[in-house]
Amino acid sequence: MSIPGIGAITATAYLTAVEDPANFKRSRSVGAWLGLTTRRYQSGEVDYDGHISRRGDTHVRSLLYEAAVVILTRSQADSDLRRWGIKLREKIGFKRSAVAVARKLAVIMHAMLRSGELFNRATATT
C-alpha cells in the first residue's frame, strides 16, 4: 500500500492471487500471468501484437487497471512511474498507457514482495 493509487483492496487481492512470490522466476512473468501483456500472432510473414491476452485473475487485473488510471489522472504524488505513464499516454493513448502502467505495477509489486522493501518513487520504472 506504499504505492500511490494502491489501496487495501488492491494490495490484498494481489497478494492472494500471487500467494508465494517464489512461484515466479522473474517479476516480469507476473504481467503475462495476469493477462496484461499483448497477445502475439505469428504465422509465416505475418507478425503482430494484438490486444491484451486477458488471461489470469480478472478481478486483480481490473483492480490494477483502476490503480493505473488513478496514478495517471488523480494522483498528486510525483514518481518516475507516473511520469513514464504520462509520456506513454502522449505516444499511444490513454487506455494503452493505463494497461502498460498496470503491468508495470504488477511487476513492481512482485519485486516488492520478493525483497520486502517499500515503494521507492525515484526508481519505480527500472
Q: Count how many domains the chain has.
A: 1
* 105 inside domain: yes
Instruction: List pLDDT tens digits, range 10-43.
Output: 989 998 988 888 888 888 888 888 888 877 677 8
* 2 inside domain: no
* 41 inside domain: yes
What is the average pLDDT score of the chain? 84
Average pLDDT score over residue span 77-105? 90
Higher pLDDT, residue 111 or 76: 111
Phi, psi of 90, deg, nearest 5:
-65, -30
* 1 inside domain: no
Q: Rounded distance, CA 84 to CA 42, Å?
A: 29
Per-residue burial over 5-39, b if 16 or more Cβ lie within 10 Å, else e, is: bbeeebbebbeebbeebeebeebbebbbbbbbbbe
* 78 inside domain: yes
Q: What is the pLDDT of residue 46?
A: 76
* 83 inside domain: yes
Q: How many other C-beta atoms can be found within 10 angstroms of the C-beta atom of residue 112?
A: 17
**Cα distance from N-terminal residue to C-terminal residue, the chain:** 19
pTM over the 0.95 mark: no
The parent domain of residue 53 ranges over 8-123
Smallest CA-to-CA distance from 103 within 2, 117, 25, 111 is with: 111
